[in-house]
Structure 1
């Protein structure tokens, strides 16, 4: 099975990578395609930089930074993966990458770098609507607060 893992450099995206690796630890045989999509340069960026090659280098550097954390997790787990970088509308470019790479499924975060949407970010919403492949959307697991030791009741069961 080949799984697309969209990543944008956020810790939220790494939750989806960790989820996919947990599936592998539980017996799923899979390889992965790390995908990052860079939005095209803005008019302001084009007008201030005046150098298409420099803009391309900036985009490539941003993509490399965005996949770095996910690559480290996949390397540590010893799983097979490749990296694909696209440019354009994020959701539709991800769908194009999934088709080009003949992916069988997609595992992605509910939110990414923007991270402000209450439940689903705009990319996840579009993917949910337009994706024809099996799609797993991973919500960020908030850490449970641990009470300070002095707040624990020593007479409670199991203490």
Structure 2
């Protein structure tokens, strides 16, 4: 990953990582990666991203409006990002929060480009057998990757080569 030099200053800007977060432990693997980069002396900043998924299940919408459900998701997302950011803040790493609503994969790729990120940090994709049972967001982000590279990390936050 190369960092760009800020125009006219001759100073490298911090490595900007986008780390999507959700309620799973796997989404914290990117936090471990950022902390390891920081300990290695890499100047960086982190954007945490939470994507709320609009409900489409009629059984849920019978009891709550879509607006109520999304509001609940965003409140929960803020708590998840606060929790994920706590270690980064303690380490002195600059963190900002991004919230989106809609297709998770699209918004991960879009936010990375919109916010001039140098990399998207995602957990390694599930083994292909598990992928058959559910949507694997990490694998789909890698498949639809655009200009911003995806760094796959293991549970210790170490970058892993994926096929």
TM-score above 0.5, yes or no: yes
Asked if residue 9 in structure 1 is aligned to residue 58 in structure 2, the reply is no
Tell me if the contact between 2:53 and 2:70 (Cα under 8 Å) persists in the aligned partners.
no
Partner of 2:124: 110
Partner of 1:46: 61
Partner of 1:67: 81
Tell me if the contact between 1:14 and 1:69 (Cα under 8 Å) persists in the aligned partners.
no
1:30-78 residue CA offsets vs partner (Å, 9 max, x unmatched): 11100111111224233321x3542232121221232232111111111
CA distance in 1, matches of 2:106, 2:75: 22
Tell me if the contact between 1:9 and 1:65 (Cα under 8 Å) persists in the aligned partners.
no
Higher relative contact order (CA 8 A, sep 6+): 1
Q: Which of 1 and 2 has greater Rg?
A: 1
SS at match of 2:54: coil
| RMSD between aligned residues | 2.1
CA distance in 2, matches of 1:77, 1:11: 20
Asked if residue 133 in structure 1 is aligned to residue 163 in structure 2, the reply is no
Partner of 1:157: none
Q: What runs of 5+ residues in structure 2 fail to find an aligned partner?
A: 1-14, 157-163
Tell me if the contact between 2:54 and 2:70 (Cα under 8 Å) persists in the aligned partners.
no
SS at match of 2:63: helix
CA distance in 2, matches of 1:117, 1:18: 24
Partner of 1:144: none
Out of 73, 92, 110, the residue aligned to residue 96 of structure 1 is 110
Q: Which has the higher helix share?
A: 1
Q: What's the TM-score, normalizing by structure 1?
A: 0.75
Partner of 1:145: none
Instruction: Give the paired residue count.
Output: 135
Q: What's the TM-score, normalizing by structure 2?
A: 0.73
